[in-house]
Amino acid sequence: MDALPTFLSHLLRHLPSQAEIVEWFRHIPPLLAVSGGILFWLALARAFRWRRYNAMHRKYGPKWSNGKGIITPEEAQDIMSVSTRYDMPMLLNYALAFALFKTYGIPSISKLLASTKELKSKETVSKRYADTELLIATWVGCPISGFLDASMSVTNNGPNPKPADDPRAMLALARTNWLHSKYRISNEDYLYTLSLFILEPGNWAKRFGWRKLSPLEEHAYYVFWVEIGNRMGIRDIPDTLEELINWSKDYEESYMVPADTNKEVAGSTVEELISFVPETFGVKALSRRIVVCLMEDPVRESMLYPEQPWLLRKSLDAGMGLAAFVQRWFLLPRSREKFPIVTKLPKVDDKVGCPRLHPTKYTYRPWYRPEPMSAFGVLREKLLLKLGVYSEMPGPHLKSSGYRLEEMGPLRFENDGHEEIMRRAAELQGCPIAGPWSMEGRKQQELI
């Protein structure tokens, strides 16, 4: 029965002394300061990280009203810019690259690509990759109305419409349509590709991003790409996002089947994707495996790739998950946009009537990278070459003077179709192409 008093006396004997208590309290201020600092940082990161997202939802959320209202393609483009330029530009850029890649799992598509030979030699693969990315980034990043103020596209339709401020998006689309017209591509293959452009960004954000796309954003991707699809002449586009998801799934289940051409075309694209990776220590072999891990099973099987080890797949998921977690909770957002092209309208020097454009980043084979103008520049390029950032020095053979949208695509078509591209681009945007972007602009340049 005397257990309780014994316990109490034991407790009393072990109570901390006054000196010990004082000692503890001396640790509290630094502890408080550290945890307060962390909390402050978390709150700051949170407030800034969601600022653009919240502002965009305040602007368009009520208008869309969860599907009861209408979002125009121009508004959709504005909505997309938050995710594609600021919130997860690299991830969503890869999502588009993979969307294209996924289509190589459809034998009718891979057969056509294999027959064009564009994906055969290193030279043409790298240019095809660079040009495809630039053309697509131009549709997404430049105003599809042609005007910085999108409302102009509604009012600018009298007998003498004003020329577009920025016709780059429709020039890029007209050039793409022109290039596509050289091949026989089925409407369903176009539609499947379009569906991936709509759906893959959302899937990638869900799988690897620090945040998902909101329903408004998913709808905006649908609206924007449907407009692009219409302007490409794609028919029978499903009327709602849900129907499109079902259609795409059905098509994939029926037509994504193993084929040698899938493997061939996919293989050369994977090599291009990892071309910058050095061979040393098996890093290249590992990165090849990692690319295969990123493929969903039906895609991987259709391209005849073996399943990768469980441990590698899980480590990759864990690594990507950790990166997303850190980004979501601890990092401040980007302050400046990141995008493959300069979305702001370039300043055109009067003397140089015909602007040639440069990407904001370069592929391993640095297509369109300007030649260095100074001794320091030459040194920098040589260093980048040594470091393995680029495969060779910029030069005319890689179009170091930059690109014109009406020239893009396989080199053998470089000088063809320009007049037609101008005409079709003007039709697509409903107003003329003038100034530096037009054929007159080109001729002016050629006189200099």
Instruction: Give the binding site for ligand NAG (CB under 6 A).
Output: 242-243, 246
- Cβ of residue 238: shortest distance to ligand NAG, in angstroms? 8
- Cβ of residue 326: shortest distance to ligand NAG, in angstroms? 36
Nearer to ligand NAG, 215 or 370 (CB): 215
Residue nearest to ligand NAG (CB): 246
Within 8 A by CB and 6+ apart from 201, the residues are 83, 84, 92, 95, 96, 99, 213, 221
- Cβ of residue 298: shortest distance to ligand NAG, in angstroms? 17
- Cβ of residue 222: shortest distance to ligand NAG, in angstroms? 13
CA pair distance 114, 337, nearest whole angstrom: 36
Nearer to ligand NAG, 66 or 246 (CB): 246
- Cβ of residue 223: shortest distance to ligand NAG, in angstroms? 17
- Cβ of residue 245: shortest distance to ligand NAG, in angstroms? 7
CA angle 382, 386, 392 (to 5 degrees): 65
- Cβ of residue 191: shortest distance to ligand NAG, in angstroms? 15
- Cβ of residue 242: shortest distance to ligand NAG, in angstroms? 4
Nearer to ligand NAG, 50 or 255 (CB): 255
Nearer to ligand NAG, 243 or 317 (CB): 243
Nearer to ligand NAG, 253 or 419 (CB): 253
**Which two three-digit tokens encode residue 33?**
């300061």
Nearer to ligand NAG, 181 or 246 (CB): 246
- Cβ of residue 186: shortest distance to ligand NAG, in angstroms? 22
Nearer to ligand NAG, 149 or 242 (CB): 242
Nearer to ligand NAG, 250 or 317 (CB): 250
Nearer to ligand NAG, 84 or 248 (CB): 248
Nearer to ligand NAG, 244 or 408 (CB): 244
- Cβ of residue 229: shortest distance to ligand NAG, in angstroms? 18
SS (H, E, C) the chain: CCHHHHHHHHHHHCCCCHHHHHHHHHHHHHHHHHHHHHHHHHHHHHHHHCHHHHHHHHHHHHHHHHHCCCCCHHHHHHHHHHHHHHHCHHHHHHHHHHHHHHHHHCHHHHHHHHHHCCCCCHHHHHHHHHHHHHHHHHHHHCCCCCCCCCCHHHHCCCCCCCCCCCCHHHHHHHHHHHHHCCCCCCHHHHHHHHHHHHHHHHHHHHHHCCCCCCHHHHHHHHHHHHHHHHHCCCCCCCCCHHHHHHHHHHHHHHHCCCCHHHHHHHHHHHHHHCCCCCCHHHHHHHHHHHHHHHCCHHHHHHCCCCCCCHHHHHHHHHHHHHHHHHHHHHCCCCCCCCCCCCCCCCCCCCCCCCCCECCCCCCCCCCCCCCCCCHHHHHHHHHHHHCCCCCCCCCHHHCCCCECHHHCCCHHHCCCCHHHHHHHHHHHHCCCCCHHHCHHHHHHHHHC
Residue 442 phi, psi dihedral angles, 5° rounding: -60, -45
